[in-house]
């Protein structure tokens, strides 16, 4: 594809919206992106088969130290085509085609220290990805994110499948309604949750699924969420305008950056066939290739779990005793009176191992095996769980021997109570303990409020934490299934030991009022 | 000593201040503590040789969940005498006498769920220690500290030796003035510091030293600061009243507790001979005995340091290069252009080792040995330093060999830039790296702003962090000298590998305008 260069001429002509627009077309020609400067404000538009998907929408970043939203001149544009096929370590497809046309536009604030922002657009047959890149430059080094001004102006009152914006959880029932009516529906669904949403504006989570009146399916999300806070979407349900709402930390800061840096990809998947949205590999394609040389130890697995009994009202508990003031590292658990309802006991787990062996199931997850469950929701403690201390009735060595003899793995459970700080403190010991006892996979959990107390589940520090866990686990050849972590953005391509992210409202809610399917 | 029990009768009589007072006397009879309930408010008073030290002052804790300040009835009092002599692992004395009379008063809010607080007073010949104890009880479990209401009412406008209240640092020049004039003096001294104090009220740090007009020396501080935030003192310079000011976290919470719990000891050391204040072992006596069975590896040491050159303007730097955007773990430091002024290079460190060997000095501290110094004040990065990555011109193995041959140790330096979260993440690897390379002591550093971003240097989470470092270091038989951590409260008795705490304004300030001695 030829390289187009525009300069000051484009700016002089650019006084009406997108008058200086450049166009980018998907490889199959169905999607068309228009980019231009509207009085110095970066603006884009997306069409699919001639129909509007995203109407003219502004782009920009607001930093505490610099407003990167307007006053721009375009100084360069580079276009390339890219086509490769790669093999994921696991997944629905053995080969994935990564095929896109790219346009990288360099913008400069000539009257403001020549501050430079690069906008990189990738147009696939199934959608658009774009991100902001902040190259190394003389007049900026550190930035604190105040706001991301990315907008997604919709073309009508689309049918919307959504959950309420929240910095800590995605475990809501879905609302399906025209956008003008989702507010009421989401408020009803909010009440089904144990605690309040923390956003003060009217917002929804991504991935956000929509259907237009003329049969287009549109999905807005993000890819490769690394060292940045997760994006929610503010909703203007009268103008049908969505805009980026970044998760702050509890000091109100939305991100801490050092240049050179880039944001995650903002993604818009589009089709007139709903099935294409699910089949899309766009999110994976926008992530970096696998970082590990040896991936022979990574294998998806089926597992059953000592878990459901604790939800059903059958009376089983994660906790070994009813002494709710127990403190891991302080209390001598061997001296507690067992409550007689502790499910993760050696004999019972053996029954699960037998069942797994008889039914070709790879592994048995055991929740409630370790010290701390008497008092897990303990935001006011420095340590809620010990990850190397089994309860007195859970014989790790014997269970490992028994499971190994039957060709079954036991899956580790690390419930952190969202005390990520303490989990990092214990992590090396915890993973070494797993290796020493024959575990090769862990389900992590992040229930309740986060420690460090400055953080939400979806804020930048926590997003870095989840990646740290996965990388450190890989050092021990351990696979990870994260529960209640931030929503997935395709990082399992880069770190394929991140086998699963249980970030949505899962089966456990069937024991808590259930979830009504929507259409 | 006999046990005195008072009950409802005491309350009925207790309508005038300290009317129901009990008295406690120091073993030598010089100090006298009076405790009583003033309309249900716990109140104490302290005299020395018949002179007032602390006039009648209230006690109490304000929790978000419960006000533990008034409405109390005394339900029990227990008195004991204690006398033992113990041997510290190191210090000025080979034997320390721990001799006190104790009074433990149980108070109950009979009209408020029988909430119970125990006040434990220990009266030594050289001063008073007291703390609040919250036993396990039916109606309280978790508490969030809103305020501690401990007061220290002084008997006059004492000469005061003080530094301004601050949640992050004690590195101020001292003000010496009558209490009524310290505000002005401290404001002058504040200006000598690089950034602003963070307390909004008029406050000072502890230990706070005072001298009365009639020649008494009084020192107020705390002992055994564990799982609690550090105490500053609010100053009322008209009424000459001091009151506890606990360090909050940045969410405004002053502590998170689960019962049973107790506060650190609040201490008042008193003498009519100034030398006794320095000689006092009261703070150590109020700390728990040594937690380690084997202490043979703990030895105080003298050291010289590759350090002062970086302060003097001689042009030496901690950093290997001048590329201020270097990122540990990302930048290839071997490809950077050396700045030619990096002091921690192999040849130069050998000169220090020679000097140490020739002059009977045990160790050489080397600052600036590891990746990260190009950009250390980087609150906006997740990782500022790597503790296992020497700069290209610092040959760890060769220096260890060279030093060992000369009978000298190299002292490790872990500057964390107050990113305690990342330090904990790297800690096991860092300590193992030390063991592998022959290090047995580390100087830690906490310059600038804390990460986790919810915390101050003196808030509860950080105080737990420092202890975690010391305990984990002990697992590797490593001694710790902490720089810029919270001020010492005698924890070196419990963890004697915590050899030093450089929390005050140290010698480095001689290169930054100096410090004028006060008398």
- Residue-wise pLDDT for A435-478, tens only, equals 999 999 999 999 999 999 999 999 999 999 999 999 999 999 99
So what's the pLDDT on residue B196? 53
The shortest C-alpha distance from B428 to chain A (Å) reads 7
Q: Which residues from B are below 8 Å from A379, CB to CB?
A: 256
The shortest C-alpha distance from A316 to chain B (Å) reads 24
Tokens linked to A380: 């006011």
Q: Residue B461's closest chain A neighbor by CA?
A: A382
Q: Does A132 touch chain B (CB under 8 A)?
A: no
Strand-pair category, A479-483 with A441-445: parallel
* Out of A35-49, A310-324, B379-393, least confident range: A310-324
The shortest C-alpha distance from B136 to chain A (Å) reads 9
Of B258, B375, B455, the CB nearest to A380: B258
Could you check whether the bond before residue A207 is cis, i.e. omega within 30 degrees of 0?
Answer: yes
Q: Reply yes or no on whether the pLDDT at A234 is more than 80.
A: yes
So what's the pLDDT on residue B11? 38
Helix (H) or strand (E) holding B175: strand B175-178
Q: Which residues from B are below 8 Å from A138, CB to CB?
A: none
The shortest C-alpha distance from B331 to chain A (Å) reads 12
Of A144, A325, A379, the CB nearest to B141: A325
CA distance B261 to B461: 16
pLDDT (mean) for A120-127? 98
pLDDT (mean) for A359-366? 98
CA distance A187 to A165: 11
Is B251's CB within 8 Å of A424's CB?
no
Q: Which residues from A are below 8 Å from B452, CB to CB?
A: 421, 452-455, 461
So what's the pLDDT on residue A108? 97
Sign of the CA dihedral running A476, A479, A484, A489? positive
**Angular region, B395: left φ>0, alpha ψ -120 to 50, beta rest:** beta
What does A223-236 look like in DSSP terms, one character per residue?
E---SSPPEEEEEE
Of B379, B428, B453, the CB nearest to A249: B453
Helices (H) then strands (E): counts for chain B = 8, 28
Sign of the CA dihedral running A445, A448, A453, A457? positive
CA distance B354 to B356: 5
Q: Does A133 touch chain B (CB under 8 A)?
A: no
* Out of A115-119, A401-405, B2-6, B510-514, least confident range: B2-6
Tens-digit pLDDT profile for residues A274-284: 999 999 999 99
Tens-digit pLDDT profile for residues A256-276: 999 999 999 999 999 999 999
Q: Digits of tens for pLDDT over chain B (519 positions)?
A: 333 333 333 333 333 344 457 999 999 999 999 999 999 999 999 999 999 999 999 999 999 999 999 999 999 999 999 999 999 999 999 999 999 999 999 999 999 889 999 999 999 999 999 999 999 998 899 999 999 999 999 999 999 999 999 999 999 889 999 999 999 888 877 755 555 556 778 999 999 999 999 999 999 999 999 999 999 999 999 999 999 999 999 999 999 999 999 999 999 999 999 999 999 999 999 999 999 999 999 999 999 999 988 988 778 999 999 998 899 999 999 999 999 999 999 999 999 999 999 999 999 999 999 999 999 888 899 999 999 999 999 999 999 999 999 999 999 999 999 999 999 999 999 999 999 999 999 999 999 999 999 999 999 999 999 999 999 999 999 999 999 999 999 999 999 999 999 999 888 888 887 877 776
Q: Does A3 touch chain B (CB under 8 A)?
A: no
Interface test with A, best of B250, B382, B419, B428 (most A CBs within 10 A): B382
Laid out side by side, the sheet with B67-68 consists of: B67-68, B61-63, B142-148, B256-258
Closest CA to A280 of A66, A469, A129: A129
Tokens linked to A325: 């003031």
Q: Which residues from A are below 8 Å from B259, CB to CB?
A: 325
Q: Does B139 touch chain A (CB under 8 A)?
A: no
Q: Residue A384's closest chain B neighbor by CA?
A: B258
Could you check whether the bond before residue B65 is cis, i.e. omega within 30 degrees of 0?
Answer: no
What does A295-361 look like in DSSP terms, one character per residue?
-TT-----EEEETGGGTTTS--BSSSBS-TT--TTTS-GGGSPB-S-BS--HHHHHHHHHHHHHTT-
Q: Which residues 326-385 of B are in CB contact (within 8 Å) with A? A: 327, 375, 378-382
Closest CA to A364 of A380, A376, A350, A353: A353
Of B250, B258, B381, the CB nearest to A251: B250
Tokens linked to A300: 């998806």
CA distance A96 to A478: 25
Q: How far is CA B397 from CA B69, B329, B431, in A?
A: 60, 21, 16
Q: Does A256 touch chain B (CB under 8 A)?
A: yes
Q: How confident is the model at residue A20 (pLDDT cuts 50, 70, 90)?
A: low
Closest CA to B116 of B149, B75, B65: B75
Laid out side by side, the sheet with A203-204 consists of: A22-25, A31-38, A41-48, A51-58, A151-153, A241-246, A231-236, A203-204
Are A108 and A72 spatial neighbours (Cβ–Cβ below 8 Å)? yes
* Prediction ipTM score: 0.91
CA distance A434 to B94: 45
Closest CA to A284 of A474, A470, A466, A124: A124
Of B143, B380, B424, the CB nearest to A142: B380
| Beta-ladder partners of A358 | none
CA distance A363 to A356: 7
Q: Which residues from A are below 8 Å from B468, CB to CB?
A: 425
The shortest C-alpha distance from A135 to chain B (Å) reads 12
Look at residue B76 and give its three-state secondary structure: strand
Of A141, A327, A424, the CB nearest to B325: A141
Look at residue A229 and give its three-state secondary structure: coil
> pTM here?
0.93
Q: How confident is the model at residue A374 (pLDDT cuts 50, 70, 90)?
A: very high
Q: How confident is the model at residue A195 (pLDDT cuts 50, 70, 90)?
A: low
DSSP E strands, A446-514: 479-483, 498-502
Look at residue A111 and give its three-state secondary structure: coil
CA distance A460 to A225: 9
Strand-pair category, B479-483 with B441-445: parallel
CA distance B324 to B376: 9
Percent of chain A's residues with pLDDT above 70 = 94
CB under 8 A, 24+ apart: contacts of B276-280: B276/B126, B276/B217, B277/B209, B277/B217, B277/B219, B280/B126, B280/B127, B280/B219
Helix (H) or strand (E) holding A243: strand A241-246
Burial class (CB in 10 A: 0-12, 13-18, 19+), A124: buried
DSSP label at residue A454: T
Active site residues of B: 508
Q: Residue B468's closest chain A neighbor by CA?
A: A425
The shortest C-alpha distance from B514 to chain A (Å) reads 31
The shortest C-alpha distance from A218 to chain B (Å) reads 35
Tokens linked to A266: 């903002």
Interface test with A, best of B142, B146, B248 (most A CBs within 10 A): B142
If you count residue pairs, one on A and one on B, with CB atoms under 8 Å apart, how many are there? Answer: 90
So what's the pLDDT on residue B369? 98
Of B250, B378, B380, the CB nearest to A144: B380
Are B61 and B145 spatial neighbours (Cβ–Cβ below 8 Å)? yes
Q: Residue B377's closest chain A neighbor by CA?
A: A142
Sign of the CA dihedral running B170, B174, B176, B182? negative
Q: Which residues from B are below 8 Å from A249, CB to CB?
A: 453
Of B253, B382, B455, the CB nearest to A227: B382
Tokens linked to A109: 């604030």
Tokens linked to B290: 């040594």
The catalytic residue among A62, A133, A424, A508 is A508
Is A327's CB within 8 Å of B258's CB?
yes
So what's the pLDDT on residue B21? 73
Are A135 and A116 spatial neighbours (Cβ–Cβ below 8 Å)? yes
Interface test with A, best of B140, B322, B452 (most A CBs within 10 A): B452
Sign of the CA dihedral running B468, B474, B475, B477? positive
Residue that the structure tokens 């919270």 belong to = B486
Q: Which residues from A are below 8 Å from B428, CB to CB?
A: 428-429
CA distance A371 to A447: 16
So what's the pLDDT on residue A519? 64
Look at residue A277 and give its three-state secondary structure: helix
Closest CA to B145 of B464, B459, B455: B459
Closest CA to A299 of A496, A489, A94: A496
Residue that the structure tokens 């093999």 belong to = A87
Are B22 and B36 spatial neighbours (Cβ–Cβ below 8 Å)? yes
Q: Does A79 touch chain B (CB under 8 A)?
A: no
Closest CA to A390 of A355, A352, A433: A433
So what's the pLDDT on residue A191? 58
With vertex at residue B226, the alpha carbon angle to CA B426 and CA B505, rounded to the nearest 5 degrees, is 75
Is B453's CB within 8 Å of A251's CB?
yes
Q: Does A261 touch chain B (CB under 8 A)?
A: no
Is A142's CB within 8 Å of B378's CB?
yes
Q: Reply yes or no on whether the pLDDT at A11 is more than 80.
A: no
Q: Does A35 touch chain B (CB under 8 A)?
A: no
Phi, psi (deg, nearest 5) at residue A19: -60, -30
CA distance A380 to B421: 18
As a whole number, the mean pLDDT across chain A is: 93
Q: Which residues 298-337 of A are in CB contact (within 8 Å) with B? A: 324-325, 327
Is A468's CB within 8 Å of B425's CB?
yes
How far from each other are the two terminal CA atoms of chain A, in whole angstroms? Answer: 42
């Amino acid at each position: 594809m030829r390289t187009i260069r525009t300069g000051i001429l484009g700016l002089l002509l650019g006084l009406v919206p997108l008058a200086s627009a450049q166009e980018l077309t998907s490889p199959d020609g169905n999607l068309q992106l228009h980019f231009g400067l509207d009085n110095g404000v970066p603006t884009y538009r997306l069409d699919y088969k001639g129909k509007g998907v995203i109407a003219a929408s502004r782009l920009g970043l607001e930093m505490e130290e610099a407003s990167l939203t307007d006053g721009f001149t375009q100084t360069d544009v580079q276009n390339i085509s890219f086509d490769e096929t790669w093999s994921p370590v696991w997944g629905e497809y053995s080969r994935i085609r990564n095929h896109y046309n790219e346009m990288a536009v360099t913008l400069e604030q000539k009257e403001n220290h020549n501050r430079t922002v690069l906008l990189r657009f990738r147009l696939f047959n199934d959608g658009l990805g774009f991100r902001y890149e902040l190259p190394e430059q003389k007049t900026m080094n550190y930035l604190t994110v105040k706001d991301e001004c990315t907008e997604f102006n919709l073309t009508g009152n689309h049918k919307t499948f959504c959950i309420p914006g929240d910095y800590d959880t995605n475990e809501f029932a879905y609302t399906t309604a025209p956008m003008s009516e989702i507010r009421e529906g989401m408020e009803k669904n909010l009440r089904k949750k144990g605690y309040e949403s923390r956003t003060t504006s009217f917002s929804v989570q991504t991935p956000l699924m929509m259907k237009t009146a003329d049969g287009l399916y549109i999905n807005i999300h993000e890819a490769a969420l690394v060292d940045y806070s997760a994006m929610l979407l503010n909703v203007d349900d009268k103008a049908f305008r969505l805009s980026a709402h970044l998760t702050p930390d509890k000091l109100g800061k939305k991100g801490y950056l050092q240049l050179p840096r880039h944001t995650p990809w903002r993604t818009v998947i589009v089709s007139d066939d709903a099935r294409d949205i699910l089949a899309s590999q766009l999110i994976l394609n926008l992530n970096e290739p696998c970082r590990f040389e040896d991936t022979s130890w990574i294998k998806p697995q089926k597992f059953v779990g000592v878990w459901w009994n604790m939800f059903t009202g059958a009376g089983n508990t994660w906790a070994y005793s009813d002494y709710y003031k127990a403190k891991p590292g302080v209390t001598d658990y061997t001296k507690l009176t067992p409550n007689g309802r502790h499910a993760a006991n050696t004999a019972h787990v053996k029954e699960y191992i037998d069942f797994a062996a008889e039914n070709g199931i790879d592994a048995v997850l055991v929740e409630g095996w370790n010290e701390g469950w008497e008092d897990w929701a303990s935001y006011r403690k420095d340590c809620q769980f010990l990850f190397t201390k089994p309860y007195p009735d859970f014989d790790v060595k014997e269970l490992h021997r028994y499971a190994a003899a039957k060709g079954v793995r036991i899956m580790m459970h690390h419930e952190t109570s969202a005390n990520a700080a303490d989990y990092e403190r214990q992590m090396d010991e915890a993973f070494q303990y797993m290796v020493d006892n024959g575990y090769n996979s862990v389900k992590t959990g992040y229930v309740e409020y986060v420690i460090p107390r400055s953080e939400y589940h979806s804020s930048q520090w926590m997003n870095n934490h989840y990646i740290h866990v996965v990388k450190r686990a890989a050092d021990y050849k351990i696979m990870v299934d994260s529960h209640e972590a931030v929503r997935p953005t395709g990082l399992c391509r880069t770190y394929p030991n991140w086998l699963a992210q249980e970030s949505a409202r899962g089966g456990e809610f069937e024991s808590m009022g259930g979830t009504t399917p929507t259409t």
